[in-house]
C-alpha cells in the first residue's frame, strides 16, 4: 500500500538489511518545484518499513505536520477565535444600541427572542401588569414596578404597537366609570380598584398622581383618614 511523506522529507532509502529495496526514493518535482504531496509506492518492502515511521502516514489525510505547519495552524486558529469574539461583541453592541431606540414593547420582544427559548404568546402581543405597565408575554415580573406577572389580573394580552407613543400604558387602560371611582367609594373597597381607577379618584379629589398602584392607594387612604 502507498505511504505519504511529511512535507519536509525530500528522499528516503531503506536498505535490504532493514527490509527495504535498497534503492533511493526522492520526492517528485513538478514544474521545477517539489510536489506538495509525495505518495510512495514500493513493492520491495520500503512501504512496510515506513508505515511505522513518524514522518510517514498511511493516508493523505493523516500526513504529519512539520513544526512550522503546526505553529501556523495554531496561530490561525487563535486569530480566528479572537476575530469571532470581536465579531460577537460588535453584534451584541449593535443590538443593544438598536434596542435603546425602539419602543418599550418592541425592545422587550427583541430581547426575549434573543435570550429566551420556549413557549411564548403570539408575535406582536404583550401583557400589562396590575399597575398598567406593558411587558413581554414571557416576563415573570414587571420590568418597571416588579409586579408579579403570574397574577390572574395580568393575563389580558394587548397589541404591542410600533409607535413609541402607542406603547404608553395610558392608551391601553380601560375607561373608568364614575360609580367605580367616585368619592363615595369606601376605604375598604379601594384595594379592589385598578391603578387606573385609583388615579381617577386622585384626580377628582385633587390628590397627587403616584407612579404605582401601591403608592396611589397609600395617598388616597391617607387623605381620607385625615
Residue-wise DSSP of 71-127: HHHHHHHHHHHHHHHHHHHHHHHHHHHHHTTS-HHHHHHHHHHHH--S--PPTTEEE
pLDDT at 123 over 50: no
Calpha distance 130→142 (Å, rounded): 9
Summary mean pLDDT of the chain: 76
pLDDT at 39 over 90: yes
Q: 144-172: per-residue pLDDT in tens?
A: 777 777 764 544 454 443 343 444 444 44
Q: 43-63: per-residue pLDDT in tens?
A: 888 988 898 899 999 999 999
Calpha distance 212→131 (Å, rounded): 6
In the chain, where the domains are located: 3-67, 104-171, 178-225
Check: pTM over 0.85? Answer yes or no: no
The rounded Cα 131 to chain-centroid distance in angstroms is: 30
Q: Burial-class residue 180 by CB neighbours within 10 Å (0-12, 13-18, 19+).
A: middle
Amino acid at each position: 500500500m502507498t505511504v505519504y511523506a511529511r512535507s519536509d522529507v525530500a528522499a528516503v532509502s531503506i536498505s535490504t538489511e532493514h527490509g527495504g529495496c535498497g534503492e533511493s526514493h526522492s520526492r517528485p518535482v513538478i514544474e521545477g518545484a517539489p510536489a506538495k504531496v509525495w505518495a510512495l509506492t514500493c513493492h520491495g518492502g520500503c512501504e512496510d518499513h515506513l508505515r511505522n515511521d513518524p514522518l510517514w502516514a498511511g493516508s493523505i489525510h493523516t500526513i504529519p505536520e512539520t513544526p512550522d505547519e503546526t505553529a501556523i495552524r495554531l496561530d490561525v486558529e487563535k486569530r480566528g477565535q479572537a476575530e469571532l469574539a470581536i465579531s460577537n461583541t460588535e453584534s451584541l453592541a449593535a443590538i443593544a444600541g438598536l434596542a435603546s431606540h425602539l419602543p418599550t414593547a418592541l425592545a422587550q420582544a427583541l430581547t426575549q427572542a434573543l435570550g429566551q427559548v420556549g413557549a411564548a404568546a403570539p408575535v406582536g402581543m404583550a401583557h400589562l401588569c396590575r399597575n398598567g405597565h406593558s411587558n413581554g408575554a414571557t416576563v415573570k415580573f414587571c420590568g418597571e414596578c416588579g409586579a408579579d406577572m403570574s397574577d390572574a389580573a395580568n393575563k389580558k394580552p394587548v397589541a404591542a404597537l410600533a409607535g413609541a407613543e402607542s406603547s404608553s400604558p395610558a392608551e391601553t387602560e380601560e375607561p373608568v366609570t364614575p360609580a367605580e371611582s367616585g368619592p363615595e367609594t369606601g376605604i375598604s373597597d379601594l384595594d379592589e380598584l385598578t391603578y387606573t381607577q385609583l388615579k381617577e379618584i386622585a384626580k377628582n379629589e385633587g390628590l397627587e398622581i403616584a407612579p404605582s398602584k401601591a403608592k396611589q392607594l397609600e395617598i388616597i387612604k391617607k387623605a381620607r383618614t385625615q
